[in-house]
Amino acid sequence: MFQINHITATLAILSTILGALTATSLGWKYRARVRLQPTESRWRSLVSVIALSLVTLSVLLFAAYVTRNALIRGDRNGSLTMLIFIRAGNYLSLIGALGSLTGKGKTRWPTFVGACLMLFIWFSEGMSL
């Protein structure tokens, strides 16, 4: 049986979360530049902004989820509130990934990477219950 020690697992999770935060902040940085140069089609640009907003909401939801778990010292069996967090985070990340593939511009790929990383985090949180 393969066992992973706690330090390795913690570093892997932290690097995934930091990667998602970096990708999301890069997406907003690219979006700020694009707003100054409107050369893209409007609906695809709007889809990119919506996808980036959904991924940002997923990151913020994960921060709220972690804060709640720290305050109540975790819930090993899961509760209705935890399941709502996980389900909402999964849906936000999935719709953000699909929207980023539909969108256009430099915002597209950082949004997609951030959405995939957050989808991985939410899926692993759901599997751990």
pLDDT, tens only, 5-14: 777 777 877 8
Whether the CB-CB separation of 100 and 44 falls below 8 Å is answered with no
Encoding tokens for residue 121?
């985090």
pLDDT in tens, 12-34: 778 888 888 888 888 888 777 76
Instruction: Give the pLDDT confidence of 60-93 residue by residue, as tens digits.
Output: 999 888 888 888 877 777 788 888 999 999 999 9
C-alpha dihedral sign at 78, 82, 88, 92? negative
Separation of alpha carbons 107 and 18, rounded Å: 18
Q: What letter does residue 107 receive in the DSSP assignment?
A: T
